[in-house]
Structure 1
Protein backbone atom coordinates (compact mmCIF):
# COMPACT_ATOMS: atom_id res chain seq x y z
CA UNK A 1 0.00 0.00 0.00
CA UNK A 2 1.92 3.01 -1.26
CA UNK A 3 0.60 6.14 0.37
CA UNK A 4 1.85 9.58 1.29
CA UNK A 5 0.89 9.53 4.96
CA UNK A 6 1.93 13.16 5.33
CA UNK A 7 -1.08 14.32 3.30
CA UNK A 8 -3.47 13.16 6.00
CA UNK A 9 -1.36 14.52 8.87
CA UNK A 10 -1.11 17.90 7.13
CA UNK A 11 -4.91 18.23 7.23
CA UNK A 12 -4.63 18.50 11.00
CA UNK A 13 -1.33 20.33 11.25
CA UNK A 14 -0.22 22.20 8.12
CA UNK A 15 3.21 22.69 9.73
CA UNK A 16 3.70 19.03 10.64
CA UNK A 17 7.26 17.77 10.89
CA UNK A 18 7.81 15.51 7.88
CA UNK A 19 10.75 13.78 9.55
CA UNK A 20 8.56 12.89 12.51
CA UNK A 21 5.89 11.59 10.13
CA UNK A 22 8.54 9.44 8.45
CA UNK A 23 9.65 8.15 11.84
CA UNK A 24 6.10 7.19 12.75
CA UNK A 25 5.66 5.45 9.40
CA UNK A 26 8.88 3.54 10.11
CA UNK A 27 7.63 2.64 13.61
CA UNK A 28 4.33 1.32 12.22
CA UNK A 29 6.20 -0.66 9.58
CA UNK A 30 4.46 -3.63 8.08
CA UNK A 31 1.15 -2.78 9.77
CA UNK A 32 0.66 -0.04 7.20
CA UNK A 33 0.52 -2.60 4.40
CA UNK A 34 -2.88 -3.80 5.57
CA UNK A 35 -5.74 -1.32 5.21
CA UNK A 36 -7.37 -2.59 8.39
CA UNK A 37 -4.19 -2.36 10.45
CA UNK A 38 -3.37 1.09 9.04
CA UNK A 39 -6.54 2.49 10.61
CA UNK A 40 -7.50 3.08 14.22
CA UNK A 41 -11.03 1.96 15.11
CA UNK A 42 -12.16 4.46 17.74
CA UNK A 43 -15.31 2.40 18.34
CA UNK A 44 -13.30 -0.65 19.46
CA UNK A 45 -12.28 -0.49 23.14
CA UNK A 46 -9.58 -3.14 22.61
CA UNK A 47 -8.04 -1.05 19.82
CA UNK A 48 -8.00 2.06 22.00
CA UNK A 49 -6.39 0.10 24.83
CA UNK A 50 -3.75 -1.12 22.36
CA UNK A 51 -3.02 2.47 21.28
CA UNK A 52 -2.70 3.49 24.93
CA UNK A 53 -0.59 0.56 26.07
CA UNK A 54 1.56 -0.14 23.02
CA UNK A 55 2.07 3.33 21.65
CA UNK A 56 1.67 5.80 24.47
CA UNK A 57 3.11 3.74 27.30
CA UNK A 58 5.58 1.44 25.56
CA UNK A 59 6.82 3.50 22.61
CA UNK A 60 6.53 7.00 24.10
CA UNK A 61 7.33 5.87 27.64
CA UNK A 62 4.49 7.86 29.19
CA UNK A 63 3.79 7.15 32.86
CA UNK A 64 0.81 9.41 33.46
CA UNK A 65 -2.44 7.79 34.65
CA UNK A 66 -4.43 5.73 32.15
CA UNK A 67 -7.33 8.16 32.50
CA UNK A 68 -5.15 10.99 31.16
CA UNK A 69 -3.92 8.84 28.27
CA UNK A 70 -7.47 7.75 27.48
CA UNK A 71 -8.62 11.38 27.45
CA UNK A 72 -5.86 12.26 24.98
CA UNK A 73 -6.85 9.37 22.70
CA UNK A 74 -10.51 10.42 22.92
CA UNK A 75 -9.53 14.01 22.13
CA UNK A 76 -7.72 12.92 18.97
CA UNK A 77 -10.72 10.80 18.01
CA UNK A 78 -12.99 13.80 18.45
CA UNK A 79 -10.64 16.00 16.44
CA UNK A 80 -10.72 13.45 13.60
CA UNK A 81 -14.45 12.77 13.92
CA UNK A 82 -15.27 14.07 10.42
CA UNK A 83 -12.92 11.51 8.82
CA UNK A 84 -14.45 8.11 8.23
CA UNK A 85 -10.98 6.60 8.18
CA UNK A 86 -8.62 7.46 10.98
CA UNK A 87 -5.12 6.72 9.72
CA UNK A 88 -2.85 5.23 12.35
CA UNK A 89 0.03 7.50 11.32
CA UNK A 90 -2.12 10.60 11.83
CA UNK A 91 -3.47 9.37 15.16
CA UNK A 92 0.04 8.57 16.40
CA UNK A 93 1.39 11.90 15.13
CA UNK A 94 -1.35 13.87 16.90
CA UNK A 95 -0.82 11.91 20.13
CA UNK A 96 2.96 12.34 20.02
CA UNK A 97 2.45 16.03 19.32
CA UNK A 98 -0.01 16.33 22.23
CA UNK A 99 2.51 14.86 24.65
CA UNK A 100 5.51 16.74 23.21
CA UNK A 101 7.16 13.53 22.02
CA UNK A 102 7.63 14.14 18.27
CA UNK A 103 11.39 14.20 18.79
CA UNK A 104 11.18 10.44 19.46
CA UNK A 105 10.63 9.99 15.71
CA UNK A 106 13.09 12.45 14.19
Structure 2
Protein backbone atom coordinates (compact mmCIF):
# COMPACT_ATOMS: atom_id res chain seq x y z
CA UNK A 1 0.00 0.00 0.00
CA UNK A 2 1.08 3.54 -0.68
CA UNK A 3 1.48 6.16 2.01
CA UNK A 4 -1.78 7.78 0.86
CA UNK A 5 -3.60 4.43 1.15
CA UNK A 6 -2.23 4.12 4.70
CA UNK A 7 -3.57 7.59 5.52
CA UNK A 8 -7.01 6.78 4.10
CA UNK A 9 -7.14 3.57 6.17
CA UNK A 10 -6.14 5.58 9.26
CA UNK A 11 -8.92 8.14 8.60
CA UNK A 12 -11.52 5.39 8.08
CA UNK A 13 -10.52 3.71 11.35
CA UNK A 14 -10.65 7.08 13.12
CA UNK A 15 -14.18 7.70 11.83
CA UNK A 16 -15.38 4.27 12.99
CA UNK A 17 -13.76 4.60 16.40
CA UNK A 18 -14.47 8.24 17.25
CA UNK A 19 -17.62 9.04 15.27
CA UNK A 20 -19.26 5.64 15.00
CA UNK A 21 -19.48 6.03 11.22
CA UNK A 22 -18.49 3.59 8.50
CA UNK A 23 -17.32 5.86 5.69
CA UNK A 24 -17.98 5.54 1.99
CA UNK A 25 -14.41 4.59 1.08
CA UNK A 26 -14.68 5.94 -2.48
CA UNK A 27 -15.74 9.36 -1.22
CA UNK A 28 -13.18 9.34 1.60
CA UNK A 29 -10.46 8.56 -0.95
CA UNK A 30 -11.57 11.44 -3.20
CA UNK A 31 -11.78 13.88 -0.28
CA UNK A 32 -8.33 12.80 0.93
CA UNK A 33 -6.85 13.27 -2.55
CA UNK A 34 -8.53 16.69 -2.65
CA UNK A 35 -6.65 17.68 0.50
CA UNK A 36 -3.45 17.39 -1.50
CA UNK A 37 -0.05 17.36 0.17
CA UNK A 38 -1.46 18.82 3.41
CA UNK A 39 -2.16 15.27 4.66
CA UNK A 40 1.58 14.53 4.79
CA UNK A 41 2.36 17.43 7.14
CA UNK A 42 1.58 16.81 10.81
CA UNK A 43 0.43 20.40 11.36
CA UNK A 44 -1.78 20.81 8.29
CA UNK A 45 -3.15 17.25 8.46
CA UNK A 46 -5.26 18.23 11.47
CA UNK A 47 -7.74 21.01 12.19
CA UNK A 48 -7.42 22.97 15.43
CA UNK A 49 -11.02 23.00 16.60
CA UNK A 50 -10.46 25.77 19.13
CA UNK A 51 -8.74 28.16 16.68
CA UNK A 52 -11.36 30.46 15.15
CA UNK A 53 -8.97 31.55 12.36
CA UNK A 54 -8.53 27.90 11.40
CA UNK A 55 -12.29 27.34 11.40
CA UNK A 56 -12.78 30.43 9.22
CA UNK A 57 -10.24 28.97 6.75
CA UNK A 58 -12.18 25.70 6.66
CA UNK A 59 -15.36 27.66 6.04
CA UNK A 60 -13.95 29.94 3.34
CA UNK A 61 -11.54 27.62 1.55
CA UNK A 62 -13.51 24.39 1.73
CA UNK A 63 -17.21 25.08 2.22
CA UNK A 64 -17.46 28.25 0.11
CA UNK A 65 -14.72 27.74 -2.51
CA UNK A 66 -14.64 23.94 -2.90
CA UNK A 67 -18.24 22.96 -2.17
CA UNK A 68 -19.72 26.17 -3.59
CA UNK A 69 -21.93 26.94 -0.60
CA UNK A 70 -23.26 30.42 0.13
CA UNK A 71 -21.62 32.02 3.16
CA UNK A 72 -23.80 32.29 6.21
CA UNK A 73 -24.05 31.30 9.88
CA UNK A 74 -25.19 27.79 8.92
CA UNK A 75 -21.65 27.02 7.70
CA UNK A 76 -19.97 27.65 11.04
CA UNK A 77 -22.81 25.81 12.80
CA UNK A 78 -22.10 22.78 10.59
CA UNK A 79 -18.37 22.95 11.30
CA UNK A 80 -19.05 23.06 15.04
CA UNK A 81 -21.51 20.15 14.76
CA UNK A 82 -18.94 18.02 12.93
CA UNK A 83 -16.25 18.92 15.49
CA UNK A 84 -18.68 18.02 18.28
CA UNK A 85 -19.54 14.70 16.59
CA UNK A 86 -15.80 14.02 16.28
CA UNK A 87 -15.48 14.63 20.02
CA UNK A 88 -13.94 17.60 21.80
CA UNK A 89 -11.64 15.27 23.75
CA UNK A 90 -10.01 14.00 20.55
CA UNK A 91 -6.79 15.90 20.14
CA UNK A 92 -6.21 14.95 16.50
CA UNK A 93 -9.08 15.96 14.26
CA UNK A 94 -7.98 14.97 10.79
CA UNK A 95 -8.72 17.47 8.02
CA UNK A 96 -9.81 14.76 5.57
CA UNK A 97 -12.30 13.35 8.11
CA UNK A 98 -13.77 16.80 8.81
CA UNK A 99 -14.01 17.60 5.09
CA UNK A 100 -15.66 14.22 4.47
CA UNK A 101 -18.21 14.81 7.25
CA UNK A 102 -18.97 18.32 5.98
CA UNK A 103 -19.39 17.03 2.44
CA UNK A 104 -21.90 14.44 3.69
CA UNK A 105 -23.63 16.99 5.97
CA UNK A 106 -24.36 19.30 3.04
CA UNK A 107 -25.06 16.48 0.56
CA UNK A 108 -22.31 17.73 -1.77
CA UNK A 109 -20.84 14.34 -2.73
CA UNK A 110 -21.38 15.29 -6.37
CA UNK A 111 -18.48 17.78 -6.08
CA UNK A 112 -16.22 14.72 -5.91
CA UNK A 113 -18.16 12.83 -8.63
Q: How many residues align?
A: 104
CA shift, 1:78, in A, is 1.1
2:94 pairs with one of 82, 87, 90 = 87
4+ residue runs over 4 A deviation = none
Give the SS at the match of 1:25.
helix
2:53 pairs with one of 41, 46, 53 = 46
Structure-2 separation of matches of 1:89 and 1:7:
12
Instruction: Provide the aligned C-alpha RMSD in A.
Output: 1.5
- Aligned residue for 1:35? 42
TM-score w.r.t. the length of structure 2 is 0.84
Matched, 1:21 2:28: yes
Q: Which runs of 5+ in 1 are unaligned?
A: none
CA shift, 1:6, in A, is 2.0
